[in-house]
Amino acid sequence: MSLAAAQSATSRPTWLALDKLGVLIALIALAGAALPFALFRANRIVLGEPRSLLDALPSFPAALLIGILLVGFAVALLRLPIIAKLVAGFAVLATLFVVIGWSAGYLTPEGDTFARVSPGAGFWLLVFAFALLVTDALTRLRLAPLARIAILLAVIAAATLLLWSGSWNDLSLLKEYSTRAPAFWAEARTHLALAFGSVAIAAVVGMPLGILCYKVRPVRAAVLNVLNIVQTIPSIALFGLLIAPLAWVAANVPGASAAGISGIGAAPAMVALFAYSLLPIVSNTVVGLLGVPPAAVDAAKGMGMTGRQRMVGIELPLAFPVILTGIRIVLVQNIGLATIAALIGGGGFGVFVFQGIGQTAMDLVLLGAIPTVALAFAAAVVLDALVEMTSRGVRRP
């Protein structure tokens, strides 16, 4: 009997076996399907009334979504080809994002400008489940760096097309945006300036400092210890600690105030983000240089290259993938930390986050949080691809 069972198990098709991660994804998706798909509110600050998937959509789109979700559950559960999982994940996500806009138009009474419709917990849980399916499939496929960037660009293009089509215009998130569009783009520019500007300054300062730490061991220990201490200070505390000294500089140093330095605003935010950026860049520069093969350095010495020539032509290029990894960590970190700059008048997407918290308007919170998360994710994908490309270039004979 056991031999027959073993033969039966052996002859069973591979695709009938369950995918372990797929079971978890399907359970999360089932929980999402059971929770409210959308929330209806009579105005932007009252508590939402939950609407199930069947109540939030007309019969046809509801049936279409349920059918696509069932296919997605099956594909996630079974051990099917990775491409099938990737296509199914993207198909479910695309359907979810289209029908949530349809739901907003369906639930909003005609001519009612005060009503608000927001995605419910079920929608977000379904998005999380199938985003996890897509992420797992992309990881298993081991795509080339340019292919990953191409997929990112395709996702950005699809999101842009969805917003441009107007299918989301009835969602509360877009209604919040429509009343704040000029302010949104102004704060977006501020957020980008804070995040990317602080990283650029930290790279200009941190890489030479890392080279110095690599060459002078006593300096290395002192510098890394100080930067480690800075890294342990909570971000809000560091922003607050910088208010008094920068206010003194603005009041007592000629031209400082005219240059934009003040106790509150973008100046302390930029200084704090710069301080947080130094440790990963300096330490990765040191680690990258220490990881340069001694044989490469010896060969350069044998060719008669000077110390400066070896550093510029051999050591830094070989260490660059590790240095770029540090810059990637810092950029993703600073995109998130720049949100807190709004607490000291520094601007950025945090303005909407904290305004929304103060007004109990969660869609206003999302107006600041979603672009921040999307920007951090896009930066991580692009810099991961660049790290891999530079690593391949370094390994190439």
Is 3 part of a structural domain of the chain? no
Indicate if 306 and 391 belong to the same structural domain: yes
Residues 372 and 268 sit within 8 Å (Cβ to Cβ): no
In a domain, 39, yes or no: yes
The percent of residues above 70 in pLDDT, for the chain, comes to 93
Q: Work out the angle at residue 276's Cα, subtended by the Cα atoms of residues 274 and 279, and round it to the nearest 5 degrees.
A: 105
186 pLDDT band, cuts 50/70/90, is: very high
Within a domain: 194: yes
Pair 289, 210: CB distance under 8 Å: yes
Average pLDDT over residues 278-294: 90
Q: What's the CA gap between 200 and 192, in Å, rounded?
A: 12
pTM of the model: 0.85
Q: What integer best gives the mean pLDDT of the chain?
A: 86
The answer to whether residues 248 and 337 belong to one domain is yes
Together in a domain, 167 and 190 = no
pLDDT, residue 342, reads 87
Q: Examine the domain organization and report whether 317 and 201 are in the same domain.
A: yes
CATH number at residue 281: 1.10.3720.10
Dihedral Cα 244, 250, 256, 257, nearest 10 deg: 120
Same domain, 215 and 324: yes
Report residue 12's pLDDT band, with 50, 70 and 90 as the boundaries: low
Residues 253 and 356 in one domain: yes
What strands lie across the sheet with 49-51, from one edge to the other? 49-51, 38-41, 116-119
Q: Phi first, then psi: what are they for 300, rounded to 5°? A: -65, -40
Q: Does one domain contain both 117 and 248?
A: no
Q: Are residues 315 and 167 in the same domain?
A: no
Residues of the domain holding 269? 181-395
